[in-house]
Structure 1
Amino acid sequence: MWIRWRLIIAALCCLSWAGMATAAAVTETPGPSILVVGDSLSAEYGLRRDSGWVALLSRRLSEEKTGYQIHNASISGDTTSGGVSRLPDALAHYHPDIVIIELGSNDALRGLPLTMTQDNLSKMVAMAQEANASVLILGMHIPPNYGRTYAEQFHGLFASVAKQHNAALVPFFMEGIATDETMFQSDGIHPNEKAQALLEKNVWAHLAPILKPN
């Protein structure tokens, strides 16, 4: 399990050169919107376009007639520092009602101070809330070979930031996927199309309660 996690996190970092963002707006219909700010786990790396969990979530929102549309501003290899840098422009451009933050794993791979990662996530949540958006944070794990204390504190910082700002939290975004080899692409690193439905389900369980009635 932990070997796979090391590879997953390494891939997220090494893909930083790609700068691949997925399609921005899923629909042009005016209405409430959700902004996703993440890394390759949300940027459809290695997947057919519109087959990732963000696209699946968009379809569910449509089927449930919520009125929400999604803007995906995820970039492969991004860090929380990158998120802090580009979030203001994204907020100004999309004016989202909800912001989903899926960042932090690349910080851990580089061994960056946990206080910095936590501070960056906190800044992102604060910026989103100041723009009158609700926030959903996607929590992550790293393997214990980075040091049990570091790994436990890394996972805990997501809950700490959520509690500090009264934001919603997915405790572990990759729940039910990390130990299942059938959920990964042929490279053995990135979640495949089969896994996207479970990722979407993990997010939906915590997103649905904060959606505003249509």
Structure 2
Amino acid sequence: MQFNLSRLFFFSTILFLGLAVASCSEEKAETTQTETISEKATETKSDQKIILFFGNSLTAAYGIDQEDGFAGLTQKRIDSLGMDYKVINGGLSGETTAGGLSRLDWFLEDKPDVFVLELGGNDGLRGIKLTETKSNLLKIIDKVRSKFPDTKIILAGMQIPPNMGQEYAGEFTAMYPAVAEEKDVLLIPFLLENVGGIPELNLPDGIHPTEEGHQIVFNTIWPYIKSTIE
């Protein structure tokens, strides 16, 4: 799905307002999310397989209860199927690919059987050089594979509005398939398919999905998760 013009206008108009709101809450969110992640990691049984969602505020279910975010919904679906997997939410509001790379080691103390990489959106919104973003994504994948060669990796593709220019936005979108092809990982073409740029499926900041939006995101990602755990 591509953002249409009306949605792009809406998305672009409220983009910086949304970033400001997220920034004001970021310090508190980081503390809360770190505590939650620690609790989830502690609760994981030694023989239980792990699905690690590693991302930013989208993964962290910013603005809603974490259990209603797509990572939480993944756990609910797995539990309903009686599968012995623990979902760990490694989302952190405001996270960039550089920040993710720097904190990755902590999450690799235990082997993730499935590693879902959802980063890059904040890089794009801040206009970070795409060569740097791509390099960080590649390094994250390499670090996971270096320590756990058998871990199945899923890369969540993203799109951004053309605030930084159409060329930058186009190259940003194309970066994810390029990374997936180079590293031979499973690609979700667009994480926010049928959600991004649709006002009624996003919080007032226009960036973060509502509970209904997260349900749609879950429906998008579940076939990819399912294919790696069956």
Q: Same fold (TM over 0.5)?
A: yes
Could you tell which deviates more after superposition, 12-21 or 45-54?
Answer: 12-21
What amino acid does structure 2 have at the position aligned with 1:185? L
Matched, 1:130 2:130: no
**What is the TM-score with the length of structure 2 in the denominator?**
0.84
Q: What is the aligned partner in structure 2 of residue 164 from structure 1? A: 182
Matched, 1:178 2:186: no
Matched, 1:87 2:104: yes
Distance 2:223 2:10 in 1: 26
Q: What is the aligned partner in structure 1 of residue 216 from structure 2? A: 198
User: SS of the residue aligned with 2:135?
Assistant: helix
Matched, 1:5 2:8: no
Matched, 1:21 2:21: no
More helix by share: 2
Q: What whole-Å deviation, never above 9, does each CA across 1:87-127 have from its counterpart, x for those lacking one?
A: 112111x3211111111011112211100000000001111
Q: CA deviation at 1:83?
A: 0.6
User: SS of the residue aligned with 1:50?
Assistant: helix
List gaps (5 residues or longer) in structure 2.
1-6
Q: In 2, are the aligned partners of 1:4 and 1:189 still within 8 Å (CA)? A: no
Q: In 1, are the aligned partners of 2:60 and 2:66 still within 8 Å (CA)? A: no
Q: What is the aligned partner in structure 1 of residue 122 from structure 2? A: 106
Q: CA deviation at 1:16?
A: 4.2
Cα gap change, 1:55/1:2 in structure 2, threshold over 3 Å: closer, same or farther? same
Please report the RMSD computed on the Cα atoms of aligned residues, expressed in angstroms. 2.1
What amino acid does structure 2 have at the position aligned with 1:203? I
The alignment of Structure 1 onto Structure 2 pairs a total of residues equal to 211
Q: CA deviation at 1:185?
A: 2.2
Distance 2:127 2:171 in 1: 13
Cα gap change, 1:38/1:125 in structure 2, threshold over 3 Å: closer, same or farther? same
Distance 1:189 1:136 in 2: 22
Q: CA deviation at 1:4?
A: 4.0
Q: In 2, are the aligned partners of 1:5 and 1:142 still within 8 Å (CA)? A: no
Q: What is the aligned partner in structure 2 of residue 31 from structure 1? A: 48
List gaps (5 residues or longer) in structure 1.
none
Distance 1:128 1:179 in 2: 32
Q: 5 Å matches for 1:40-55?
A: 40-55=57-72
User: SS of the residue aligned with 1:190?
Assistant: coil
Q: In 2, are the aligned partners of 1:52 and 1:196 still within 8 Å (CA)? A: yes
Cα gap change, 1:4/1:126 in structure 2, threshold over 3 Å: closer, same or farther? farther
User: SS of the residue aligned with 1:21?
Assistant: helix
Q: What whole-Å deviation, never above 9, does each CA across 1:127-164 have from its counterpart, x for those lacking one?
A: 11222221111110011232121111101111111111
